[in-house]
Amino acid sequence: MKYDIAAYVWPSYTGDEPRTRMFWPDGIGEWQTVKSATAKFEGHQWPRKPLWGYLNEADSTVMEMHIEEAVKHGVNVFIYDWYWYDGRPFLENCLNDGFLKAKNRDKMKFYLMWANHNVTHLWDKRISDIEDNLIWEAHVPLEEFKTIAKRMIEKYFLLDNYYRIDNEPILMIYDLEVFLKGFATLEDAISGVQWFQAEAKKSGLQGIHFQMCRWDSRLFKVNYEGREVEITMDQLCKLLGFKSYTHYQFVHFQDMNRDYREIVADVVKDWDTYKNESTLPYFPHVSVGWDNTPRYLSHHLGDPVKGAVVKNNTPENVELAFRAAKKYVDEHPTQPPLITVNSWNEWTETSYLQPDDLYGYGYLEKIQDVFVKD
């Protein structure tokens, strides 16, 4: 059986986008933060170095090498984090100039995750201890949403190597609450999605497969039918016409400050409970790890996100998660064999498949063992 192993790509490892200089003035994107990372406590496994070097991932020749290594080891889909701030796209260079200009791009599929989160201190280590420092808001009104939709259709969705389900290109929405904030009512949001679908069909597509990035279990507050109501994720997705969901990171629904094997055991239990919470298909997700202390000047002890550091996420233990995801796919033969992985290159969150000086090619070799060789 062929599996679609889709690794998220954080497209910040380039200085080709001028606006990156406000966060990383050295002109090498977030490699600047990786280079400056130090151990925050005894036994902390930083600094780490990429075996391939601090390469510009908006360079097509670099991405040709990445594609070859990814496909060889069983990663056959890239999910590009896609951003839109201040009325224009941000960090598109890695996709447009790197991946899409690579001579071997047709060896891999790709799709977009609209990473519609606000920008605060997260990317600028110099101001990492300043809270509530809002730089850009991510929600957009209807007219701007239409501009985004047209851009996605024209530049990406019509490409032959765009990943599709039932011949519909996938668009994942990272933060559904932020997405809804751009519309006055839920009815307006529904109309916006329907307009997007109609526009896609005008371009010759069968439609758009909207995919939700799930976080924890929650109710959503929306203005619907003239009043504010709380609505479940499943109800909301059905009203909007979304068709599936997956995760971006274990940290969104797990305590990560513990042993990786404990985390995997709880993740697998959660997969079983989703059938009771939603009728939409769930695509299993695997996170390689979590430790975003490289992005901070201080170590935020006790914080469930900024202070959490996974223990024992060795390639051998991460293999347990890969095998669990494979088992889940095998037990759901009516849905596409898609598994999402965090990530290809989230170095400053310490959750990446790219080879480093700690485990070498260990994570990629485990994907190859589970999904290619078995």
Q: Could you tell me if 239 and 190 are in contact, meaning their C-beta atoms sit under 8 angstroms apart?
A: yes
Length of the chain: 374
Which pTM was predicted?
Answer: 0.98
b/e per residue 187-221 (b: at least 16 CB within 10 A): ebbbebbeebbebbeeeebebbbbbbbbbeeeebe
Calpha distance 310→40 (Å, rounded): 14
Contacts of residue 226, defined as CB under 8 A and 6 or more positions apart, other chains included, come to none
Q: Could you tell me if 226 and 183 are in contact, meaning their C-beta atoms sit under 8 angstroms apart?
A: no
Residue 323 burial (CB count, 10 A): 17
233: buried, middle or exposed (CB in 10 Å: 19+, 13-18, 0-12)?
buried
Q: Which residues of the chain have pLDDT under 50?
A: none
Q: What is the pLDDT of residues 264-283, one digit of tens each?
A: 999 999 998 887 788 899 99
**CATH code for the domain in which residue 285 is found:** 3.20.20.80
Count the domains in the chain: 1
pLDDT of residue 351: 98
The tokens describing 288, both together, are 């390689």
Calpha distance 282→240 (Å, rounded): 17
Query: Strand 88-90 to strand 77-85: parallel, antiparallel, or no bridges (unpaired)?
Result: antiparallel
Residues spanned by the domain of 29: 4-373
User: Angle 233-240/186-202 helices, nearest 10 degrees?
Assistant: 40
Residue 279 burial (CB count, 10 A): 10
Phi–psi pair at 164, nearest 5 degrees:
-130, 155
Query: Strand 4-9 to strand 338-342: parallel, antiparallel, or no bridges (unpaired)?
Result: parallel
Calpha distance 58→179 (Å, rounded): 28
